[in-house]
Amino acid sequence: MFTSEPILDEYWRVMTYDRLPFEQAERAEIITAFKTVTDATVVDPNCSLSVVEDDPDDDKFFECAYAVDADYLVSGDKDHVLPVDEYRGTSVVSPAEFLTVVDSPVD
C-alpha cells in the first residue's frame, strides 16, 4: 500500500468535517496508525498530473499511483475518481471491487 503526504493531509482535512466526530488527538492516532498498522509506504510522487477535470484536488491520488506504477487505485469517490476507470495501466476500483481481486485465487 502506498500513500503520499498530500493524501494524508487530505485524510486529516476530511476528518475535521463537522459530520465526523474526531478530536485532534484521534485524527493524529488514525494518521499514525494508517502509516504503521497498514504498513503503508509514504512516497513523494514528484510529478504533476491533470486527470480529474471536475476536482483537480483528486489528482494527488493518481500522482501517487503513477509514481509507484500501481496496479490498483482504490477509492470510494464515485463522483470524481472511480469514473476514470483506468489511468496509465492502473485500474481504478472501489474497495468492494478490490476485495474481490485480493480474495480471488491466483492461477
Tally of structural domains, the chain: 1
Q: What pLDDT is recorded for position 105?
A: 66
C-alpha grid cell, residue 18: 463537522
Query: What is the domain extent for residue 71?
Result: 2-103
In this structure, are residues 58 and 77 in contact, taking their beta carbons and an 8 Å threshold? yes
SS (H, E, C) 10-68: HHHHHCCCCCCCCCHHHHHHHHHHHHHCCCCEEECCCCCCCCCCCCHHHHHHHHHHHHC
**Percent of all residues in the chain with a pLDDT value above 90, rounded to a whole number:** 78
pLDDT tens figures, 4-52: 999 999 999 999 998 988 999 999 999 998 888 778 899 999 999 999 9
